[in-house]
Amino acid sequence: MVDLSLHLMDIMQNSVVVGSTFVEVGISAEKSRNLLTIYVKDDGWGMSPETVKRVSDPFYTTRSTRKAGLGIPLLTDAAQMAGGEVHIESEAGRGTTVTATFQIDNIDRKPLGDVAETMTASIMGYPDMEFHLILKNEDTEYVFRTEDVREQIGEVPINDIEIISFIRDMLNEQITLIFGGILNEIIS
Amino acid sequence: MKSLAELAELRKKSLDAINMRDGHAHKRVVVGMATCGIAAGARPVMNAFTEELKKRNINDVTVGMTGCMGMCVLEPMVDVYDENGEKITYVKMNPEKVARVVAEHIVNGQPVTEYTIANENL
């Protein structure tokens, strides 16, 4: 994966296949602590404590179709390379939250990438699910919720190409607004 | 700065388009979006399909995604289903190839055979 938005996309896909109806993505930049945090939270099937322990092993998967599960191992590798870590909280039947941290100024930290495209691709692919995006820079926060979009568009499907394109432009504007001065640092 | 309130205007435009195509079968584009596909560039491919369809004002084609399509080495992979459910699988896609698939296959009904799985030396 060349950037963190692709890792987010991958972890969101995991959320989809475990029966989630809701996925929340969070990105938080705290320059004062040199800390970039990303997380994906879902309300899917969740995992047992035994599965959580093994999920960083690339040769462990709950799928029967193939014998590898690379999403979490790749994210763990990316976080550790940038002085961070991955933390997984999960409860069977309640859902999972995968959190990854990175040092902002670490030379090996991957760029944030195109988060707006990750969100809109997911909304396009799974129009019946609800997605949230929470952007935080120190004390400034922006919250995007697909429920708010649905309220405005009524019977028009949220995966309508015009709507998706609007959401992408809006999220890109908000990412620029929220992360402002440190945008170049976390994007690059 | 865009606001959600602007969606009301888009809603009207989209509703008109939906009413025009109501009841008609339509083509579907499905992009493989598992770890293998994402790492190989599937997300920009999916975005290129939505951009190209928007540019051409085509609003009766749905773009969706699925998991691993089983041949990771050929990712990004894309299935295009026609109105009868017949499927053509494109392999090793990139955003540059998307414009041609939209123009020749989706608009004119002629699959781009050189991008298909049948053209790969497996």
Comparing A126 with B121, the larger pLDDT belongs to A126
Domain B26-117 of CATH type 3.30.360.10: no
Contact A13 B44 (CB under 8 A): no
In this predicted structure, the answer to whether residue A62 has a pLDDT above a threshold of 80 is no
Contact A1 B15 (CB under 8 A): no
Interface predicted TM-score (ipTM) of this complex, two decimals: 0.88
A-B C-beta contacts closer than 8 Å: 101
pLDDT tens digits along A128-187: 999 999 999 988 999 999 999 999 999 999 999 999 999 999 999 999 999 876 666 666
What pLDDT is attached to residue B17? Answer: 75
Minimum CA–CA partner of B67 in chain A: A13
What pLDDT is attached to residue B117? Answer: 86
Contact A121 B59 (CB under 8 A): no
**The dihedral sign for the CA sequence A181, A138, A174, A109:** positive
8 A C-beta contact, residue A96 and residue A46: yes
Residue B9 near chain A (CB below 8 Å): no
Q: Which structure tokens are listed for A29?
A: 């930049």
What pLDDT is attached to residue A49? Answer: 85
What pLDDT is attached to residue B25? Answer: 64
8 A C-beta contact, residue A176 and residue A137: no
8 A C-beta contact, residue A11 and residue A71: yes
Q: Which structure tokens are listed for A174?
A: 């908000």
What pLDDT is attached to residue A60? Answer: 66
Give the burial class of A58: count Cβ atoms within 10 A of its Cβ; 0-12 exposed, 13-18 middle, 19 or more buried: middle
Minimum CA–CA partner of B5 in chain A: A152
Q: Residues in chain B with pLDDT < 70?
A: 20-25, 121-122
Residue B18 near chain A (CB below 8 Å): yes
Q: How confident is the model at residue A63 (pLDDT cuts 50, 70, 90)?
A: low
Strand-pair partners of A27: A38, A135
What pLDDT is attached to residue B16? Answer: 79
**Residue numbers in A near B65 (CB within 8 A):** 121, 124-126
Q: Domains (ranges, CATH) in chain A?
A: 4-187 (3.30.565.10)
Minimum CA–CA partner of B49 in chain A: A161
Rounded to 10 deg, the angle between the A4-17 and A71-81 helix axes is 150
What pLDDT is attached to residue A119? Answer: 98
Contact A121 B47 (CB under 8 A): yes
pLDDT tens digits along A64-99: 555 556 789 999 999 999 999 999 999 989 999 999
Comparing B92 with A62, the larger pLDDT belongs to B92
